[in-house]
Copies of this chain bind each other. A is one copy, B any other.
Amino acid sequence: MATLKDVAAECGLTVTTVSRVLNNRGYISDETRKKVYAAMDKLNYRPNEVARSLSKKTTNTIGVIVPHIRHPYFADMISNIENAASKKGYKIMLCNAKGRNNKEKEYLDMCTSNRVAGIILFSAGVAVQEFTDSNIALVTVERFIENGTAAVECDNRQGGELAAKHLIESGCKRLLMVSGVSENSMPADDRALGFEDVCKQNGVFYKIIQTSIGQYDSLDYHELLEGTLELDEEIDGVFASSDLIAAQVLQVCEKFGRKVPKDLKLVGFDDVMISQLTNPPISTIHQPIKEMAETAVDMVIAASEGKTVPKRTLLPVSLVKREST
């Protein structure tokens, strides 16, 4: 593959000069510029980003570490992050931590080794707490971390409140919340808090069930759901902490012959594609995924350029009413 040197030789100039037309820097005569472009074209020259990065001591890539790629929420996030990054001339290095702490640590190291400009971290592990490489901007999404550069979150508590309010206003008397993860300080936790609050305020009976960590991906909420719904036939409103769980609630309802929304009303969380593809389509709490992604990207880039960024950003959620309520 042709290098700057080859291009320079081709048109009888030095690498520096060629480098300068490439980067639009300093004084260059029109004639030289033309010559250089011609030579580049002729040799099919493609700048070597690796060398460029070494020289500039930074890359234009952002490491993105997620616990699962297949989960529609993360797929959506990744898509939006890639978009935002691409617009700003950055590329994405995708890492799938799969909920395992050692993988997460490994990926953090890998990103460091590759001298990424910054890291966007969705992962939930604890290993990050040790990550203190201050050279690399670290913004977390949906998770606050002490030694991170910045965190962007959606208002999970508000989401829980909205869901509870909506169910209660729709006439539900006996609520169930199905929470994905039980770990502390996880987003689902705040959702539960908001949900609880509103239920208490309104004197409405509620119950919260949750599964163990790292269930993002799995489809086996059925057992848990069946147990609960069978045991308590009076439940007439369910708040699922993700649309994926909500879809499964729908399936279990079908199995038990409970009509949604007639017998039981359902609110999901995330507002990902699947909530529109079920029968009935699921009312859900919309996460501003695009805005979150864009904010995260803006922040890593800003931070990597040495600018100061807000330590914590909270984005509002909203209720999307569809046909399950």
Contact = CB atoms under 8 A, between A and B. Distances in A.
Interface stretch (A4-12, A109-117, A153-161, A230-238): A109-117
A44 B72 CA distance: 37
A165 to B, nearest CB: 27
Contact of A96 (B79, B248, B250): B79
B79 A68 contact: yes
A304 interface: no
B54 A93 contact: no
Contacts of A1: 133, 135
Contacts of A72: 70, 72, 75, 273
Nearest to A248: B277
Nearest to A272: B70
Contact of A277 (B82, B135, B247): B247
Interface stretch (A45-53, A118-126, A202-210): A45-53
Contact of A278 (B78, B95, B96, B278): B278
A286 interface: no
Interface size class of A (residues with CB under 8 A): 35 or more
A263 to B, nearest CB: 15
Contact of A93 (B83, B92, B277, B281): B92
B219 A47 contact: no
Contacts of A115: 48-50
Contacts of A53: 50
A69 interface: yes
A49 B96 contact: no
A299 B113 CA distance: 25
B92 A94 contact: yes
A84 to B, nearest CB: 11
Interface in A1-55: 1, 44, 46-51, 53-54
Contacts of A228: none
A168 B82 CA distance: 43
Contacts of A133: 1, 44, 46
A76 interface: yes
Given A1-B133, A50-B53, 10 more contacts: A46-B113, A50-B54, A78-B94, A82-B96, A86-B96, A93-B93, A93-B94, A219-B276, A247-B278, A274-B274
